[in-house]
């Protein structure tokens, strides 16, 4: 089974394993689920992936937080840039 969710043809495809288990470094499962939905909706709006802006900063919603935080803190919500 794969490890990530995706967006295909404007539809968010949420990975069942991640939905059920989340990732170990996300504080709460409901926060992780919020992140996944927001991230995939971002793709449907044509937003590309983003990088961690710096250690200790909130991870951008378009960062692939499922694959790691690269020094950022988990953050499930979009923020204005």
State pLDDT tens for residues 51-68. Answer: 999 999 999 999 999 999
The phi, psi pair for 79, rounded to 5°, reads: -130, 150
Instruction: Give the pLDDT band of residue 18 (cuts 50, 70, 90).
Output: confident
The phi, psi pair for 75, rounded to 5°, reads: -150, 115
Mean pLDDT of 23-40: 93
Instruction: Give the pLDDT band of residue 7 (cuts 50, 70, 90).
Output: low
Nearest to 58 by CA among 42, 38, 36, 78: 78
First to last CA, the chain: 35
Mean pLDDT of 8-28: 84
Q: Which pLDDT score, from 0 to 100, does residue 80 have? A: 64
């Amino acid at each position: 089974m794969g490890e990530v969710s995706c967006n295909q043809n404007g539809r968010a495809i949420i990975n069942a394993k991640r939905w059920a288990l989340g990732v170990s470094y996300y504080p709460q499962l409901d926060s992780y689920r919020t992140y996944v939905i927001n991230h995939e909706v971002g793709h449907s709006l044509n937003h590309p992936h983003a990088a961690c802006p710096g250690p200790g900063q909130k991870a951008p919603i378009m960062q692939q937080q499922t694959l790691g935080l690269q020094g950022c803190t988990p953050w499930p919500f979009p923020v204005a840039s």
